[in-house]
Amino acid sequence: MTARDGPQDRYKGVWLIFFILGLGTLLPWNFFMTARKYFIDRLADPKNENCFSNETARTTLPCSYLQSMFDNFMTLCAMVPLLIFTCLNSFIHQRISQQIRILGSLVAIGLVFLITTIMVKVTMEPLPFFVFTMISIVFINSFGAILQSSLFGLAGLLPASYTAPIMSGQGMAGTFAALAMIFSIAIGAQQPESYIGYFTTACAVVVLAISSYIILPRLDFFRYYSMKDKTEYSVYHAELETKRDLIKKDEPNGMEQNNSKIIPIHNPDEKPSVFSIFKKLWVMALSVCFVFTVTIGVFPAITAKVSTELGEGNKWEHYFIPVSCFLVFNVFDWTGRSLTALFTWPGKDSYLLPVMVALRVIFVPLFMLCNVKSRKYLPIIFSHDAWYIVFMIFFSISNGYLASLCMCFGPKKVLAHEAETAGAVMAFFLTLGLALGAAISFLLGILI
């Protein structure tokens, strides 16, 4: 049976499952970040009666050391495990089964959110709660890294278009979180108990992702592509043994006289080399790394500091960053990721793709020249809100489209049996780009 004669993805079932799994990889972490105010409020020093939160401002005013350092430690506890475990998965995925890595990660993330939900009703001192929160962040991003890397590796076994729903699902997760942020501003002050709904929603999405993954192997389309390589080898091996038996029967001494060489597709028990695979897809790997280095370098470290030209004292001031920065970015990033399901231009061997990736660096000075607060060196050139929103639209849609394109093409640059490892390698370079962007963001902030 050829790929052309293979089963069809009925009702787009496999596509939808990969979308749900992509949603499940980032929605928990996005909900964790959305509940930032809840965590900071619980870190307030009870001895300091003047400690308060500015409900109308975009950020919470810190009044204790733990509150002031929360964002820094949160970033550190998120990025370091994400990078380490994504790299680790590139090597351990050949030794630990796919089912254990994906299901185990989903169950672990679900348990963390279940405990976090319960902790909403548990009274704790600020320091123990801070330690508990940081440990939760480490666990979520550690298992999230394994889940994301394994999922891209799994998608590498299928046609290139099936990486797109993962990217699209991840983009939807950010959009969902941005809407939750805007909703929280609209309804004003919230009691800590109201955050139970945030964490319960994340738990529900994780349960949905687990159920979807359990159903996945039952679908003919997925079974055909995931087992196709081993099936091809088994059929070929059987045919080869049959030919050898016939030749031996024709030869008086049982010696083969066939001089033709038939090279098997590959041995399914042979583990592909990570470094040999990287040599084949290094252009795609470095491209996706650079995409996210540029993106995280300015978003949200620079973009969230831009102020509306209307100044203070109006409602738009409170919604400007949540809408113009976070919502616009996530909506158009999701749009860009989804476009790869319709067309994949330029092709995987085109030199135009890395050129387009490199050109995104222009967004760095563009955002730095917008109406950013607390600037020392650079002038303000693009003060109008419209400039900022236009830059954000092109910035986000190019991020989603080019990143998704690279992730789709990466596994297709290697042999079929190397596709899963290639997907894991691509996921590592995606995470490396996130880490590099976070490091560069500190430098860019100083240059403004």
Task: Render pLDDT for 98-128 as a digit per residue (tens, 0 to 9).
Answer: 889 999 999 999 999 899 989 988 888 999 9
CB 281 within 8 A of CB 426: yes
- What pLDDT, on the 0 to 100 scale, is given for residue 352? 95
Residue in 359, 366, 341, 233 with CA at minimum distance from that of residue 287: 359
For residue 380, give the amino acid letter. Answer: I
Contacts of 431 (CB under 8 A, 6+ apart): 82, 83, 86, 87, 145, 148, 149
pLDDT band at 269 (very low <50, low <70, confident <90, very high): low
- What pLDDT, on the 0 to 100 scale, is given for residue 79? 78
185-230 pLDDT, tens per residue? 677 645 666 677 768 878 888 999 999 999 999 998 898 887 765 5
- What pLDDT, on the 0 to 100 scale, is given for residue 243? 46
Mean pLDDT of 132-151: 91
pLDDT band at 20 (very low <50, low <70, confident <90, very high): very high
- Domain extent listing, the chain: 10-218+272-447
Residue in 64, 196, 74 with CA at minimum distance from that of residue 135: 74
CB 433 within 8 A of CB 290: yes
Mean pLDDT of 324-343: 89
- Backbone phi, psi, residue 370, to 5°: -80, -175
* Mean of the per-residue pLDDT values of the chain: 81
More confident residue, 69 or 141: 141
Lowest mean pLDDT among 46-55, 105-114, 236-245, 375-384: 236-245
Cis omega before residue 46 (within 30°)? no
CATH code reported for the domain at 10-218+272-447: 1.20.1250.20
Lowest mean pLDDT among 220-229, 324-333, 362-371, 421-430: 220-229
Lowest mean pLDDT among 23-37, 104-118, 141-155, 336-350: 23-37
Residue 361, pLDDT > 90, answer yes
More confident residue, 272 or 341: 341
- What pLDDT, on the 0 to 100 scale, is given for residue 57? 40
Residue 435, pLDDT > 60, answer yes
Kindly state the percentage of the chain with pLDDT values over 70. 81
- What pLDDT, on the 0 to 100 scale, is given for residue 164? 82
Kindly state the percentage of the chain with pLDDT values over 90. 31
Lowest mean pLDDT among 85-89, 226-230, 307-311: 226-230
Mean pLDDT of 38-66: 61
Which range is most confident: 327-331, 373-377, 392-396?
A: 392-396
Query: Per DSSP, what are the bridge partners of residue 372?
Result: 306
Contacts of 260 (CB under 8 A, 6+ apart): none
Lowest mean pLDDT among 43-52, 291-300, 344-353, 395-404: 43-52
Q: How far apart are CA 102 and CA 91, in angstroms?
A: 15
Residue 263, pLDDT > 50, answer no
